[in-house]
Structure 1
């Protein structure tokens, strides 16, 4: 059975709530200048740069014919993003659903994904600790909205550094909602479902039980936090302890903050905010979901880390400004002729 045939079994003209943002395939070709500039590629397919109305920049995610995700995930993402709007979620500009041609059209995020920045693939630019904390706070707020602001609540199911995108001001937004699931009513605390997600970020408890809860997202977010802190691979066979969580647990017992932190930061950070962030991350990746905090707690604790780091930077700038002013005054008084 072809992808198109598989999709037709549950497609209808009333599949989606509105047709206002539906584009034809020829319009998609036109907006991408016949798929001229690829931005990246994922499990869904290739993402292309484009323009709507000749001015609004967009990212067009085109479903590949060999995609394992298919129409079901395409439809889930369209329906979610048409009813869910938040400053820390990538917004949907439109979609194309025409025969074999499926495409999702999003707002364009010019600074790409968090993973590329951590790997230094964006011009070698190193994100400061303050910038990383801001990104973590933004992502946490977006996830908190899915868990508590949506009715019914949503679980993202694929939180990872490549699904955290950055706009022109480095504001972070969650993306890729094809695996997202909602709880049908407020009384449910979990959904029994086939395990889906990305290895390394996958909640081990969910993997073992097939019980999906919001705490599964929190485990994944904890792994993301550990990547932000360490800039190290989740699994690295050459490391003395291959899994990142276990390696950090070992380093914590040694009190070895310097080797935990990304060396690219050159120790330019507030130690207390770093230890607090590590504590938050390790609580998120607790093997037992009942011991993990909720997303509101995580977001608030990360805001405290950011305040601590920002005040350190503010004090440093104040000292520099004061020193500079004293230096200028000194020069100024030296060159003024003395009164006779």
Structure 2
């Protein structure tokens, strides 16, 4: 029996296997009009294909909790009921085909208002449906990026409410897992790291202050998210500054992540989705097969919080070893599922687990 295909239960929700689809932005929502931010036929076909392909959990891409929280003008949102209703056909299809539907709730912070990746990804202004980004501190992400407006305490209170309201809509839309996006240099990650958080009030300076906003968001979402359903948190386990002896700038470290994981567990988070990077432009990142897995393994070894691992996981036996060796409880696949939506079903055959979860319509090809 392959451990990769063993079910996992978090709270009262059982996910049928340990191969999960990581959230990946598609930049394909309407940028204006009544359907702004709502999922389209593209999102349905994109997510549905991975459910048919056998993934146990499908995490929809970073979905903004407010209009200025989008990464690009073409991002998904969940700040109104029209968007909520559009998501229902997506969640219904995923559940009908054996996958658990999840959604990542996000705010892009100082990395907001940029073009789509295939358009260069640079900042976009008001004449191109853009807006001024907001952040914990008026520190631009990179050269050429605008200086973000510094959030007031009142703004922070509003944003906490935005996350809770989006979580309510996610539940009404049929999602069974909510993930708070605290990684990759977006708003919550900007608060966590001293590299981007220069505040001198209750939300900056000390570790307790820098984690205050994230924990307030967790508490607000957990309050409206049912006790029987799990809540995830995605984190960048390091800014990659502490790992680079040539760089003496202060950032977020793997040890900070272990400490924070214990806090998240105490506040009702059920799994830490461990990634890295994204907050420091030009950081030196030594990529390679499974290069982020050791950070997930460190959290799993030093805390009681379940974890998922991500990052150049491309081969079934590689994924199997990550789970079998106790480095993670599940693997998140990103680009590999873009290349092959049926990767989980192919992996089942390679590992001798079963014939996979092929739909009846495809059995003649199995």
Task: Normalising by structure 1, report the TM-score.
Answer: 0.28
Return the structure number with greater helix share.
1
Q: Larger C-alpha radius of gyration, 1 or 2?
A: 1
- The two structures have a TM-score, normalised by structure 2, of 0.27
- Asked which structure has the greater RCO (Cα within 8 Å, sep 6+), the reply is 2
